[in-house]
Every structure is written in C-alpha cells, then in structure tokens.
C-alpha cells in the first residue's frame, strides 16, 4: 500500500511505524549491516506480489517489525478509519514508552505497571472493535460482489410442486445473495427472439434437457422480474437464427400461428414489463408499498400466463398447443421462482429489519446501562463530595468549639489571675498597715521609756530613798497578796 493510500485514512503520524511493539527481537541498524558487509533491504510500504499484507491479525508479528507502516491491508485501514482509531494506538507499549508518555522519571514501577495494564485493556478493546468492523466490511463486500450461482431445473415439464417447495424452502431459510443480486440486472425484451415454425421444429429436437441457465450479468441497476424471466427462459427455448426478435424470416412464406401468438404474448409481457419497471423505479410511496405493488404485478403476470395457456390449448392445434404449453410452463415456473425469490427477499429484509431493531435495542440497552453507570458514578462522586463537605463542616465546627473553649479558659484564667492580684494587693496593704501600726507602737513605747528616763533623771531621790520606797511597796504587796501585780500598776506606783 502506497503512502497516498495510507494518507487517505489517517495522518502520516498515525500510520507510520515509529515505535514497534515489544517483540524481544532487536532491529538491526544500517551500521550493523555495514559492519557485517551486507546491505539492509529498504522497507517499502508497497506490497510485492505474493507478500502477506499487514492486517489486524498479524501487525504485531516479529516479521513485520521493519515495516514502514503499522497496517497495509485496505480493509483493516478502512475499519480503523470508520472507528476513528489510529493504527499506532493498537501497538503494545513498553514500560519505558509509558514513562515517556507520562513525562516524569520519578514514578514508581508499580504505578507504571498499573498504567500499562490499563492502556493494554484499552488497546485490546480497540483492537477487538477494529476486527469486528473489518469482518463487517468483508460481509458487505461479499453481499455486493458475490457472483450469481442460481441454478434452475432445465426441464420445463419437471417443474412440479416438490421442486417448487424445495426451492422455496431453501430460498426462505437460506436466501442466497447471488439470487437476490441476480434480480438486480437489466435485460431487454429484444433478448427473447422470435422463431419460425420450421426452425423451431429443427432446433427443438436438438434441445438439451440438461442445459443450465447462464449466469446473470453483474450490474447495479434493478430490472423488472419479467425481463429476467424472459432472459432466463430464452436459454430453454431453441436458439434463434436471427439476431432480432422482431426480424421477419424471409424464408417463410406461410403464416406462422405460433410466431404470431408468441409475438402477441411478448407484446403483452412487454407492456407488463414497462408497467412493473415504472412501479419499481417510481419514487412515490414507501419501500414496503413498492414491494407489495411489485408482487401484485407478478401475480397479475402469472394469471395472464395461465389464461393465455388455457386459451392456446383451446384455440390452437395440438402441436402448437403442446409447444406453447411448454413455453408457458417454463414462464410460469420462472414466475413462481421469481415470486419465491421476492418472498425470500422480503423475508430477508424483514429478518434484516429485525436484526437492526435487535441491534438498536442492544445499543439502546448498552447506552442505558452506560448512562446508569455514569449516573451511579456521578451519584457516588456527589456522595463523596457531600461526605467530604460534611466532614469539613464538622471539623470546622469542632475547631470553632475548641477555639471558643480555649478563649473561655483564657478569660477564666485571666479573671482568676486578676482576683489573685487583688487579693495580694489587699494582703500587701494589710501588711503595710500592720507594719505601720507596729512602728507607731514601738515609737510610743520608746517615747514612754524616754519620758520615764527623763522623769527619773529629773527627780532628786537617792538610793536610800529608793530603797525605803521599795520596802514600803513590798510590804504593801505582802499584805494584799490577792491583788495581782501589774507592770502598769508598778509603773504608776513608781510614778507616784
């Protein structure tokens, strides 16, 4: 695959094989080849004849380590393009690549392993999606480009109920894409030739009962059923000697009743062909309505063939009637076969619609599950946020209460200290007052002592007088023993 083909799906940065997977095999460089005396083959994205393309199943093989691109298979690239997935994402990564993607060297090995495991899960999921899309592309190509392999019983007389039921059952339960695709090929009414009686008699004896119908040509234009029937039935009839259906036979001088009957019949079929073609190509109405009208037209053609066969059996001679009866049986068999194919197509369309509905329901179910999972995840996140907010509020409340308690304790301590200081001040004042009182008392005692000494100094008493006074005092004290002796009394007595 060339570079232009690769760039048709992705950017070059998404397709180039810049980092190969960890296969454990070192890729030899050009210097290694030069040292060994060998030239390294230039890797090209163009596949050689017979070379295996790199697809979604062998891109991580060791043989593709030197490839310029990750993928070279068109179907694999188209599958990646439909899913908008770059091929380089599908390559496995080493721990060193994961560390380079993170951009930090100080990361634990277990963290790198967890990140790589998550990336590996995502890579395998994307690879599975791409592979499923590739299988879908292959199925679509098989439906579009499959060759026509429809086989019809060559003997007109052997079109019985058993073969019809067998063909219908096979078509109903196994609707072949080639049968459906064969109905989509255009044919012209001129392909059914007009034969004279003599030539027909000669060729009819040479008719091979084991001949098979030719394959339908491949085309994308949808034909009418009558054209395809006439073309397939022309292989059963004797081959014409002339190239045109309406060309007159110059060797026939007599009137050919079978030729005229066939010409009239073909004219009727041609008119029905045009009407069916208009119905099939008309854009008015839905697809279901078109299919119903198409099948009704087939039923009308079948009834017309049956009426013409009955009329020919009554009006013509036995030989002509037998010949036309075989022709009508062939056409009738083909119309029955086309009706069965149409029914099979309708069944296939209905089955496809049911599959689409089932797939839509599955996708809707998956979407609802994903939505519910997202909602549960959001609810869990919201619950955690609310819990964290509640914890924060509780912590702040406790902090506020602790602060208030601390402030109250501080105020209480301050009040107690203040009261203690007041009590100490009072005691200090009391002590100062007592000291002052004591000092005043001491001063008064000292003054009284001084006064006494002064008094004694001023008196002229001698020792004898004092002794007599003392004896007198003692005698008084002896007589009055019951009278308590007081210092003040002594002082007063001394003073007196």
Each residue's pLDDT tens digit, 355-403 = 888 888 888 888 888 889 988 998 999 999 998 989 999 999 999 999 9
Per-residue pLDDT at 222 exceeds 70: no
> What is the average pLDDT value for the chain, to the nearest integer?
68
Number of structural domains in the chain: 3
More confident site: 311 or 93: 93
- Nearest one of 343, 341, 290 to 148, comparing CA atoms: 341
107 and 164 in a single domain? The answer is no
Residue 118, in any domain of the structure? yes
Q: How confident is the model at residue 12 (pLDDT cuts 50, 70, 90)?
A: very low
Both 171 and 119 in one domain: the answer is no
Q: Domain check: are 231 and 119 in the same one?
A: no
- Assess whether 186 and 326 both reside in one domain: yes
Residue 417 is predicted with a pLDDT of: 95
pLDDT at position 325 is 72
Distant-in-sequence, close-in-space partners of 230: CB < 8 Å, separation ≥ 6: 187, 189, 191, 192, 266, 269, 331
* Higher per-residue confidence, 355 vs 27: 355
**What confidence category does residue 126 fall into, taking pLDDT thresholds of 50, 70 and 90?**
very high
Same domain, 222 and 125: no
Whether 179 and 275 map to the same domain: the answer is yes
Distance between CA atoms of residues 13 and 19, nearest Å: 11
DSSP string, 87-141: GGGGS---HHHHHHHHT-S---HHHHHHHHHHHHHHHHHHHHHHHHHHHHHHHHH
Per-residue pLDDT of 255-301, as tens digits, reads 444 444 445 555 666 666 666 666 555 544 456 666 676 667 767 77
Check whether residue 103 and residue 207 sit in a common domain.
no
Q: Which tops the pLDDT comparison, 320 or 208?
A: 320
End-to-end CA distance of the chain: 154
| Residue where one domain finishes, among candidates 84, 116, 144 | 144
For residue 494, what are the domain limits? 464-496
Q: Kindly indicate the confidence band of residue 431, based on its pLDDT and cuts at 50, 70 and 90.
A: very high
- C-alpha 230/C-alpha 236 separation (Å) is 10
pLDDT of the residue at 274 = 67
Let me know whether 131 and 210 are in one domain: no
pLDDT of residue 309: 66
Among 317, 352, 369, residue at a domain's last position: 369
Residue 425 domain-assigned (yes or no): no
- The verdict on residue 84 lying in a domain is yes
If you write DSSP's letter for every residue of 76-92 in order, what string do you get?
HHHHHHHHT--GGGGS-
- 8 A C-beta contact, residue 45 and residue 68: yes
- The residue among 239, 180, 210, 200 whose CA lies nearest residue 320 is 200
Say what the pLDDT of residue 454 is.
86
Domain annotation covers residue 204? yes
Residue 96 pLDDT > 90: no
Is the pTM value of this prediction over 0.95? Answer: no
Domain end residue (candidates: 350, 369, 388): 369
Split at pLDDT 50, 70, 90, the class of 70 is confident
What percentage of residues in the chain have a pLDDT greater than 70? 52
Residue 342 lies in a domain: yes
Q: What is the pLDDT of residues 304-332, one digit of tens each?
A: 777 766 666 565 567 777 777 777 777 77
**Whether 105 and 177 share a structural domain:** no
């Amino acid at each position: 695959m060339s570079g232009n083909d690769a760039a048709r799906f992705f950017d070059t940065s998404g397709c180039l094989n810049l980092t190969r997977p960890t296969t454990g095999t070192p890729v030899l460089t050009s210097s290694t080849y030069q040292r060994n005396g060998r030239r390294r083959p230039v890797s090209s994205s163009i596949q050689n004849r017979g070379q295996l393309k790199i697809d979604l199943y062998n891109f991580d093989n060791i043989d593709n380590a030197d490839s310029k691109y990750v993928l070279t298979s068109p179907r694999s690239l188209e599958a990646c393009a439909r899913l908008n997935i770059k091929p380089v994402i599908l390559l496995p990564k080493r721990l060193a690549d994961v560390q380079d993607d993170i951009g930090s060297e100080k990361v634990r090995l277990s963290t790198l392993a967890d990140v790589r495991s998550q990336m590996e899960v995502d890579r395998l999921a994307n690879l599975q999606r791409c592979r499923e899309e590739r299988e879908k592309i292959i199925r679509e190509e098989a439906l579009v480009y499959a060759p026509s392999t429809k086989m019809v019983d060559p003997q007109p007389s052997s079109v019985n109920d058993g073969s019809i039921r067998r063909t219908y059952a096979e078509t109903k339960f196994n609707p072949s894409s080639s049968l459906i695709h064969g109905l989509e090929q255009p044919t012209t009414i001129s392909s059914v030739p007009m034969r004279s009686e003599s030539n027909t008699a000669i060729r009819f004896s040479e008719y091979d009962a084991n001949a098979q119908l030719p394959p339908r040509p491949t085309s994308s234009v949808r034909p009418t059923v009558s054209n395809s029937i006439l073309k397939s039935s022309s292989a059963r009839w004797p081959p014409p000697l002339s190239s045109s259906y309406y060309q007159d036979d110059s060797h026939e001088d007599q009137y050919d009743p079978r030729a005229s009957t066939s010409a009239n019949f073909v004219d009727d079929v041609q008119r029905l062909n045009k009407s069916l073609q208009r119905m099939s190509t008309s854009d008015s109405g839905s697809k279901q309505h078109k299919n119903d009208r198409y099948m009704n037209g087939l039923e009308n053609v079948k009834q017309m063939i049956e009426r013409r066969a009955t009329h020919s059996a009554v009006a013509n001679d036995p030989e002509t009637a037998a010949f036309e009866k075989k022709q009508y049986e062939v056409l009738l068999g083909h119309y029955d076969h086309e009706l069965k194919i149409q029914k099979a197509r309708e069944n296939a369309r209905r089955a496809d619609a049911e599959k689409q509905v089932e797939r839509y329901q599955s996708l809707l179910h998956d979407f609802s599950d994903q939505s519910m999972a997202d909602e549960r995840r959001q609810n869990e996140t919201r619950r955690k946020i609310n819990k964290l907010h509640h914890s924060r509020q509780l912590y702040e409340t406790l902090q506020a209460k602790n602060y208030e308690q601390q402030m109250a304790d501080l105020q209480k301590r301050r009040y107690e200290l203040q009261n203690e200081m007041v009590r100490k001040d009072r005691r200090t004042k009391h002590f100062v007052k007592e000291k002052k009182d004591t000092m005043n008392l001491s001063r008064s005692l000292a003054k009284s002592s001084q006064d006494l000494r002064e008094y004694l100094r001023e008196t002229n008493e001698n020792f004898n007088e004092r002794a007599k006074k003392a004896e007198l005092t003692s005698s008084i004290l002896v007589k009055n023993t019951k009278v308590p002796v007081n210092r003040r009394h002594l002082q007063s007595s001394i003073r007196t």
